[in-house]
């Protein structure tokens, strides 16, 4: 089944749901007019359909390997990467002065979504570079910027991010890597990092590692961590790759999926590095990269959901099995009520999660272009929701895609199983979805719920305005926002953070559910209540949105009932 870029969905969401036009009205993004963004999406869609999608199976069947200390990548990946680089897609949202396109994050997010559908394991490489570019643009010295940015943006060099160590996963503050000043402005970085995506490759001139490590006087925890640029080859006086640095790939992980992406254990042995940002402020600096990557990972989930859906739909339209009681059916399994349920769920969920990610991207762009605090707060609030919901939906939709295929879903040659294996990690890396939910109910509610309430006000106002045209759908969305408002008030009233944490995952999902209802309703209204998106909205609002009620009951239970089940109880036979 060949991948088809969902250009019409992106265009519709841009024009009628998330309001890309307001981004184009700012001075910073005035060139991102409707015509320009449509042409960009068409071009990116073509690359994904023709060049990247054919690499998806190859990456799975012949994953990256380590041979005599050298990482050998999957067949065709070097050419695929080159095509991404030559199209300018790595530096889509990087500043034009360093060779980027200066596009809004919203457009880049749509492109990343398509690339993730086409070949997730390869797409992870430019995604890492994109995050690194943003971190350097915001925090690096002019000298570092001049050496690294043009080469990262052009794709001559690639970027990675090195946080995780065996004892420091979610708890990054537990890391032990060290950095000692060399006395010449550089540092000697030592330590072992694990799970490093694209830790090396055989197609780029250099690999630039952003490494978190502790200076000799760096205190304990996250506050004593600094960030360093540690290249595989140290740039010479002309900025070209010079002598090899003291670092190596120790081994590559054997993984459930994403085989085309080399996940490396890295050893840094007094490797030469340069400080990025201020001493002991590494986590803050790295967060620029991580926030970018979180939205990028959100649409990795959405993109995989899209790919899995397209596969399942094509299969369901051909597979004949049994007879459905409906008249005038197609004679294929798509006529069966349960298969129709699965396909409609897959499509509606993907659409909702995509809308949330694009709304988050619009908030990032507006915050960036206007400096407005409300937009920045919205972006911060939506980021964990977009990441966790987008990737949960990616996993669930890919899982359903296997089910639609029946036994053939379990057989590798259909490609359905690959989606469910590849996408699984998206709910784990870039901060597990559990950590995202805790961020939402703790840090993101520290404003007294202002950002949350502003969103809920908007959802209710739009639902109110829709009552004349689509009364039942509008009432359901309005009621869901009100129930969520009450649950948010409950959250804010809990002084014991663990009571919030105990309900954080269902709270995040309920918020995403309600946002999904809001964006589906907006789509139906824009269509005049009659069309594909209106029928999809009716399906989502009547069958999927009600889940928020049970989720919010769960939210209010607090931590006590959870801890009343002891570790002994859990282990009891
Ligand atoms: C394929 C792959 C690629 C990766 N790429 C990179 C990369 O490029 N760079 C990099 O630095 N890292 C990378 N990682 C690491 C990844 O970010 C971590 O795996 C992730 O952050 C989780 O850490 P952990 O595996 O140690 O799990 P743990 O932190 O041990 O978590 C185990 C479980 O406990 C939960 N948990 C942990 N702490 C808390 C808490 N405080 N409260 C509630 N629940 C908690 C988690 O949610 C999870 O369910 C990658 C991992 C994989 C598998």
Most ligand 1 atoms within 8 A of CB, residue of 164, 222, 505 to mutate: 164
Q: What is the spatial distance between Cα 155 and Cα 151, in angstroms, rounded to a whole number?
A: 6
Which of 169, 176, 262 best tests ligand 1's pocket when mutated (most atoms within 8 Å of CB)? 169
pTM above 0.85, yes or no: yes
Residue 172 Cα, ligand 1 centroid: separation in angstroms? 9
CB contact set of 107 (below 8 Å; sequence gap of 6+): 20, 32, 37, 40, 41, 92, 93
C-alpha 301 – ligand 1 centre gap (Å) = 17
CA 431/CA 452 separation, integer angstroms: 21
Nearest-atom index, ligand 1, CA of 163 = 11
What lines the ligand 1 site, CB under 6 Å?
Answer: 161-164, 169-170, 195-197, 255, 258, 263, 425, 428-429, 432, 434-435, 438
Distance of CA 175 from the midpoint of ligand 1 (Å): 13
- Ranges of beta strands (E only) in 115-246 are 157-162, 178-181, 187-197, 206-214, 225-231, 233-235, 241-244
430 classed as catalytic:
yes
Atom of ligand 1 nearest to the CA of 161: 9
What gap in Å lies between CA 77 and CA 85, rounded to an integer? 12
Residue among 399, 429, 392, 353 at smallest CA distance from 121: 429
Q: Say which of 137, 349, 396, 430 is annotated catalytic.
A: 430
Q: Which of 174, 300, 432 gets mutated to test ligand 1 (max ligand atoms within 8 A of its CB)?
A: 432
**Quick one: which atom of ligand 1 is closest to the CA of 128?**
8
Q: Are 339 and 148 in contact (CB under 8 A)?
A: no
- Please compute Rg for the chain using Cα positions: 24
Asked if 246 contacts 268 with a C-beta cutoff of 8 angstroms, the reply is yes
Per-residue pLDDT of the chain (573 residues; tens, 9 = 90+): 799 999 999 999 999 999 999 999 999 999 999 999 999 999 999 999 999 999 999 999 999 999 999 999 999 999 999 999 999 999 999 999 999 999 999 999 999 999 999 999 999 999 999 999 999 999 999 999 999 999 999 999 999 999 999 999 999 999 999 999 999 999 999 999 999 999 999 999 999 999 999 999 998 888 999 999 999 999 999 999 999 999 999 999 999 999 999 999 999 999 999 999 999 999 888 887 777 789 999 999 999 999 999 999 999 999 999 999 998 899 999 999 999 999 999 999 999 999 999 999 999 999 999 999 999 999 999 999 999 999 999 999 999 999 999 999 999 999 999 999 999 999 999 999 999 999 999 999 999 999 999 999 999 999 999 999 999 999 999 999 999 999 999 999 999 999 999 999 999 999 999 999 999 999 999 999 999 999 999 999 999 999 999 999 999 999 998 999 999 999 998
Spacing, Cα 433 to ligand 1 middle (Å): 10
Residue nearest to atom 24 of ligand 1 (CA): 169
């Amino acid at each position: 089944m060949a991948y088809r870029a969902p250009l019409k969905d992106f265009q519709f969401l841009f024009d009628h749901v998330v309001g890309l036009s307001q981004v184009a009205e700012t001075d910073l993004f005035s060139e991102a007019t409707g015509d320009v963004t449509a042409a960009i999406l068409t071009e990116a869609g073509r690359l994904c359909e023709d060049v990247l999608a054919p690499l998806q199976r190859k990456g799975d069947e012949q994953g990256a390997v380590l041979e005599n200390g050298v990482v050998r990548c999957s067949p065709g990946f070097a050419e695929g990467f080159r095509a991404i680089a030559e199209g300018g897609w790595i530096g889509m949202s990087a500043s034009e002065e360093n060779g980027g396109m200066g596009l809004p994050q919203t457009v880049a997010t749509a492109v990343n979504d398509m690339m993730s559908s086409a070949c997730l394991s390869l797409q992870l490489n430019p995604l890492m570079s994109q995050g690194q570019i943003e971190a350097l643009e915001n925090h690096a010295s002019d000298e570092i910027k001049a050496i690294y940015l043009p080469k990262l943006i052009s794709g001559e060099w690639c970027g990675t991010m090195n946080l995780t160590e065996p004892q420091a996963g979610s708890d990054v503050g537990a890391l032990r890597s060290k950095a000692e000043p060399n006395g010449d402005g550089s540092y000697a970085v030592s330590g072992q990092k694990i799970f490093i995506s694209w830790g090396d490759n055989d197609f780029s001139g250099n690999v630039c590692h952003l490494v978190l490590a502790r200076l000799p006087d760096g205190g304990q925890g996250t506050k004593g961590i600094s960030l360093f640029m540690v290249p595989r080859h140290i740039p010479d006086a002309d900025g070209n790759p010079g002598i090899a640095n003291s670092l190596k790939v120790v081994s590559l992980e054997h993984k459930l999926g994403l085989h085309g992406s080399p996940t490396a254990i890295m050893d840094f042995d007094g490797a030469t590095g340069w400080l990025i940002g201020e001493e002991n402020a590494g986590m803050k600096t790295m967060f620029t990269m991580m926030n970018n990557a979180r939205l990028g990972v959100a649409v990795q989930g959405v993109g995989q959901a899209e790919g899995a859906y397209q596969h399942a739909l094509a299969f369901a339209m051909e597979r004949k099995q049994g007879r459905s009681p409906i008249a005038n059916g197609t004679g294929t399994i798509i006529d069966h009520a349960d298969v129709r349920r699965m396909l409609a769920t897959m499509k509606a969920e993907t659409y909702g999660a995509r809308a949330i990610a694009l709304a988050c991207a619009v908030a990032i762009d507006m915050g960036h272009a206007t400096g407005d605090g409300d937009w920045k707060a919205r972006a911060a609030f939506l980021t964990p929701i977009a990441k966790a919901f987008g990737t949960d939906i990616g996993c669930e939709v890919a899982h359903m895609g296997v089910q639609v295929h029946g036994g053939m879903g379990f057989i590798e040659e259909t490609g359905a199983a690959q989606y469910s294996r590849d996408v699984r990690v998206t709910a784990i890396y870039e901060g597990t979805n559990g950590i995202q939910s805790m961020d939402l109910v703790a840090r993101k509610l520290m404003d007294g719920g202002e950002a949350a309430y502003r969103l809920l006000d908007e959802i209710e106002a739009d639902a109110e305005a829709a009552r004349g045209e689509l009364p039942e759908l509008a009432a359901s969305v309005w009621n869901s926002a009100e129930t969520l408002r009450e649950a948010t008030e409950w959250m804010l009233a809990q002084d014991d953070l663990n009571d919030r944490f105990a309900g954080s995952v269902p709270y995040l999902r309920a918020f995403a559910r309600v946002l999904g209802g809001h964006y589906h309703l907006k789509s139906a209204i824009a269509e005049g209540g009659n069309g594909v998106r209106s029928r999809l909205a009716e399906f989502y609002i009547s069958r999927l949105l009600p889940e928020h009620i049970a989720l919010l009951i769960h939210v209010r239970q607090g931590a006590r009932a959870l801890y009343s089940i002891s570790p002994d109880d859990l282990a009891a036979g």
